[in-house]
Amino acid sequence: MLANPQNLDIGALLQSPSLSPFALALKSSKYMLVVPNRHTSVYTRLWCGYEAYLAFQSNKIIQTAAPPIWRQVWLAWFMMLPALLIGLMVGSMSKVHHLEGAKQLMLLMRTLALLASLVSQNCGQIRLCLIANHIGLASGAAAVMEIAWSDPHDALPLLPQNIDEQASTVWYTRVSMLAYFLLAEIDRLNWQTEISETEQLQNQFGGTIRQAACSQVQDELNIRHEIGDQVDEVDKVIHVLLKAGLTSDALRDAYLRGVELEHAGVVQVAIPAIVLGPHLFLSFSHLLRCIVMFSSHHAEVHWSQIHWFLTSLQASSIFARCCFLTLLFTRPIDERCFMLNAMAKIVAPILFCFFLESQVVYCFLLSLYHLSFLVVLFFAALGIRGTLKLPCGRFFTQVFLSRVLSCRLATSSPDESDDIADEKSLTTSCSSRSEGFGSSSS
């Protein structure tokens, strides 16, 4: 936008679109940012379609711009205060007043937290996610207050460990409930913002740049001459952007393989923030404590085979998460979205099951939890294209990239997809196009 002197006569600069100032600036950039216009889609303007063409030619990653959401986040957290207070009151009353059936009530609270987390993670309705986050926060707060008013000796004997470790394990599990539902609100607001931006990009867009126009006839002729027979490829670039909020070569490959990319560019940060932050720190401190205990000459430490096994898995999961973080900071943004969403989809179901604190399956869940990070690292190392090459690769890519848990895959070939897109374009071509254009930039 700023590469061209907008208020001057720039006809001489635009005689060859590929040599125009903004085209040269785009070629030297790493990413391309599309800023939606609330009045009409920027892709009703041929110059914006030409920018998508240049990005396609230069293998640029295109992102949809979005406004900051921190004010909305603080407001959403403020609106969650009643749910938090209700949960704290229920948990306190059940312990202080020794209500009959208090243990059953707390089991119900933890079960509600499990169900709410599953809905929040995988539901396709924003309102249902909001309700689930409030219910989950209230249930988690009640569970936290239960352990706050309990004697550490009453903590579940999840593993053969000392009382302090038992209490810290239960505390950590329940505080993680609260952290998850607070962070899940950020995921929900990001998703809501992406939907709003996509609607603006789709507003009055006919589905193809063949219907786009220029204010200057000569500019339109020059641009269409340069694009040539690449119109369908540019339309695919824009289609992926509208679907995912992000487009890249890897995402276009997935699209051509029949993967649905709905909201693929929306990163779910709640689970990664927990397991790569406080969980990683706690695992590392616990591993150090085990090493110190084992190497100490002042006390005899007798470990069971299960303790050795779990400690080894914990060490491997720490290593896997450190490798994951290294990859995360070196990959492009499309691969980072894939990695973080893959972690959320793989780790979340296991992490949520900890909310029940079942003695029977605790060791099994803990083993799965540590092993899951090795699986996450495997898919992170492969990336989008590597995952697509696996047997059932389309299925895994679909599950990881989709915001809503769905295994639906497109059954049509790329050629059939083109035919369908053309039919949609012809269907929508009858809609009227606005004569005036709002300000936009990309």
* Residue-level pLDDT at 99: 58
Threshold 0.75, pTM exceeds = yes
For residue 321, give the nearest of 365, 267, 376 by alpha carbon. Answer: 376
Categorize the per-residue pLDDT at 51 as very low, low, confident or very high, splitting at 50, 70 and 90: confident
- Quick one: which H or E segment has residue 32? strand 31-34
Structure tokens that stand for 98 in this block? 């020794």
Asked if residues 418 and 405 have their Cβ atoms less than 8 Å apart, the reply is no
Which tokens belong to 15? 């005689």
Pairwise pLDDT comparison (124 vs 410), residue with the higher score: 124
Q: What is the pLDDT of residues 78-107, one digit of tens each?
A: 999 999 999 988 888 776 556 566 777 888
Partners of 33 in beta bridges:
63
List, for residues 236-273, the tens digit of each pLDDT value: 999 999 989 899 999 999 998 889 888 888 898 999 99
**Given the structure tokens 């979205």, which residue do they identify?**
337
Can you give the pLDDT at residue 323?
96
417 vs 396: CA distance, rounded Å: 21
* Res. 441: pLDDT tops 80: no
CA 147 to CA 340: how far, in whole Å? Answer: 32
Q: How many beta carbons lie within 10 A of that of residue 249, not counting itself?
A: 16
Instruction: Name the token pair of 391.
Output: 């047997």
Q: If you compute the radius of gyration of the chain from its CA atoms, what whole number of angstroms results?
A: 26
From the list 44, 2, 49, the residue with the least C-alpha distance to 24 is 2
